[in-house]
């Protein structure tokens, strides 16, 4: 049996109009999709493809021109659904004159949480996003990454079942990005459902179970990430400890079987992995210049 549907859109469309009611942009054209419990769903597409519009329609921040968006089986304009939702906006739209604790307390009160529960939850979240050292500072003094973290904390204040993340990794440094991605996966492990949109393909590839690709407001592709990315007529072999002789033997074996070698080389790591490795090592041995992976060999 398939898990229950959390988000459902039925030929959801949005047309932006100007003051006089003239059509300006068709931001979304008849989108049909479903997000099921426990999965990480990614909305992918270039700028202006309708990703944010979709999320805002699902949240009830925008009203559909036609069609319907259902969240937990209720209409998206219904406020009670928000009880089970956490939302991290594209940029953390928070009140700059509050400090971290006040911010979380404010949003906690909007969930009608009792004081004791609120306190505990705020302490936990601030600890989790690593802002303990700055919790008494006003948000206007925060860096972009810090604002993003506190934004994430407020999205999780109610321990939501469904989390909507609008461009979760923009503005974050590589460490922050990795932490964000780890966190998203952790949320999935806790059984939560995540809908995120991003134009950073690597991020989506790393965490999402299923993706939908939007272009100019139209759904172009939807499916499981591993299925979509699998190149079925290419075989990849990764091995270690092979002598050049053994490699030659494998090459011959492939040719014997009418295979065609596309590439046979030492792999390179990603820049992300390299960067994180350097940071990790410098934390372990402060003050020493670390030679890169390439130099060492």
Partner 1 sequence: MVLDLTDVTPFLTWLFGLGWTDGAIFGLIPLIVVLLLVGGGATWLVAAIRRGRGATSPRAGAIVSTAMAAGIGLAVAGIVVWLLLPAKTTAAIQPAFLDGAAWLLGSGWYHGAVYQWLLVAACAAELAFAFGWLASAVRHGPVVAFATAGQLAGDAVLDTLRISPRRVAALAGLAVKESIRRRVIVVFAVFIVILLFAGWYLDPKNPNPARIYLDFVLTATSYLVLLLALFLSSLSLPADLKSRTLHTVVTKPVRMSEVVLGRIAGFTAVTTLLLLPMSAISYAFVQRGLAHTHDVLIDDLQPVRGSTPGQPASLQGRTTVVSAHSHKVFVDSATNAAAVEMEQRHTHSLPLQKITVGGKAMYRTGPAEGMLVARVPVYGKLAFRDRTGQPAEKGINVGDEWTYRSFIEGGSLATAIWSFQGITEDRFKDGLPLEMTIESFRTHKGIIEKAVLGSLLVRNPSSDKNKPVTVEIFGAKDFAIDAHKIPRQWQTAGGKKIDLFKDIVSKDGQIEIWLRCDDRGQYFGCAQADMYLRASDASFAWNFVKGYLAIWLTSLLVVSLGVMFSTFLSGPVAMLATLGTLVAGFFHDFMLRLATGQTLGGGPFESIGRILNQENMTAQAAPGVATTVAQTLDAVAKFGLYLLAAVLPDFSRFSLAEFVASGFSIPGDTVLTYACRTFAFVLPVFVVGYLCLKNREVAQ
Single residue of 11, 23, 32, 95 touching partner 1 by CB under 8 A? 95
Interactions with partner 1, residue window 121-180 (CB under 8 A): 151, 154, 158
Contact stretch for partner 1 (CB under 8 A) within 88-96, 127-135, 213-221, 225-233: 88-96
> Least CB distance from residue 181 to partner 1, whole Å?
23
Of the two residues 61 and 250, which places its CB atom closer to partner 1 in the complex? 61
Q: Please, which of residues 50-79 interact with partner 1 by CB under 8 A?
A: 56, 59-63, 74-75, 77-79
* Strand extents, DSSP E, the chain: 5-17, 23-36, 40-44, 66-71, 74-75, 85-88, 162-166, 193-198, 210-215, 218-224
The residue within the footprint of partner 1, chosen from 6, 8, 45, 107 (CB under 8 A), is: 107
Footprint of partner 1 on residues 180-239 (CB under 8 A)?
none
Question: 264 Cβ partners below 8 Å, 6+ apart?
Answer: 247, 251
Which residue has 């419990």 as its token pair? 37
Let me know: does 171 contact 148? Beta carbons within 8 Å.
yes
Whole-angstrom distance, CA of residue 233 vs CA of residue 126: 48
> In what helix (H) or strand (E) does residue 179 lie, and over which residues does it extend?
helix 174-189
C-beta of 106 vs 275, nearer to partner 1: 106
For partner 1, give the closer residue by CB, 142 or 178: 142
Our finding on whether 42 is near partner 1 (CB under 8 A) is no
- Closer CB to partner 1, residue 136 or residue 232? 136
Minimum distance from residue 97 beta carbon to partner 1 (Å): 4
Q: How far apart are CA 270 and CA 274, in angstroms?
A: 6
Tell me the closest approach of the beta carbon of residue 116 to partner 1, in angstroms.
Answer: 14
Give the H/E segment covering residue 144: helix 144-155
If one asks whether residue 97 binds partner 1 (CB under 8 A), the answer comes out as yes
Q: Which 14-33 residues touch partner 1, going by CB under 8 A?
A: 16
Contacts of 250 (CB under 8 A, 6+ apart): 237, 242
Number of H helices, E strands in the chain: 10, 10
Return d(Cα 186, Cα 180) in angstroms, integer. Answer: 10
Closest to 94 in 3D by CA, of 41, 140, 36, 159 = 140
Give the shortest CB-163-to-partner 1 separation in angstroms.
Answer: 11
Pick the binder of partner 1 from 110, 201, 253, 264 (CB under 8 A). 110
Would you tell me which residues interact with partner 1 (CB under 8 A)?
Answer: 16, 56, 59-63, 74-75, 77-80, 82-83, 85, 87, 89, 91-95, 97-98, 102, 106-107, 109-112, 151, 154, 158
């Amino acid at each position: 049996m398939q898990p229950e549907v959390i988000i459902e859109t039925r030929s959801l469309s949005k047309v932006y109009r100007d003051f006089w009611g003239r059509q300006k942009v068709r931001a979304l054209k008849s989108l049909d999709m479903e997000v099921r419990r426990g999965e990480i769903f990614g909305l992918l597409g270039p700028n202006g493809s309708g990703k944010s519009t979709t999320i805002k329609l699902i949240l009830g921040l925008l009203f559909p021109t036609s069609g319907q968006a259902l969240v937990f089986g209720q209409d998206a304009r219904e406020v009670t659904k928000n009880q089970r939702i956490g939302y991290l906006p594209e940029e953390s739209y928070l009140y700059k004159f509050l400090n971290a604790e006040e911010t979380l307390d404010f949003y906690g009160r909007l969930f009608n949480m009792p004081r004791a529960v609120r306190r505990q939850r705020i302490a936990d979240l601030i600890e989790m996003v690593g802002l303990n050292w700055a919790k008494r500072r006003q948000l206007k003094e925060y860096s972009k990454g810090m604002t993003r973290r506190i934004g994430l904390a407020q999205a999780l204040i109610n321990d939501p079942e469904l989390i909507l993340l609008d461009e979760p990794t923009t503005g974050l440094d590589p460490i922050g990005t990795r932490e964000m991605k780890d966190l998203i996966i952790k949320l999935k492990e806790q059984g939560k459902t995540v809908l995120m949109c991003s134009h950073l393909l690597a991020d989506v590839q790393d965490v999402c179970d299923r993706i939908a690709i939007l272009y100019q407001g139209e759904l172009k592709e939807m499916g499981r990430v591993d299925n979509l990315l699998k190149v079925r007529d290419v075989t990849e072999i990764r091995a270690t400890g092979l002598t050049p002789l053994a490699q030659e033997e494998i090459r011959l074996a492939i040719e014997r079987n009418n295979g065609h070698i596309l590439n046979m080389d030492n792999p390179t790591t990603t820049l992300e992995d390299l960067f994180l490795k350097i940071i990790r090592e410098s934390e372990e041995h402060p003050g020493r210049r670390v030679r890169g992976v390439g130099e060492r060999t």
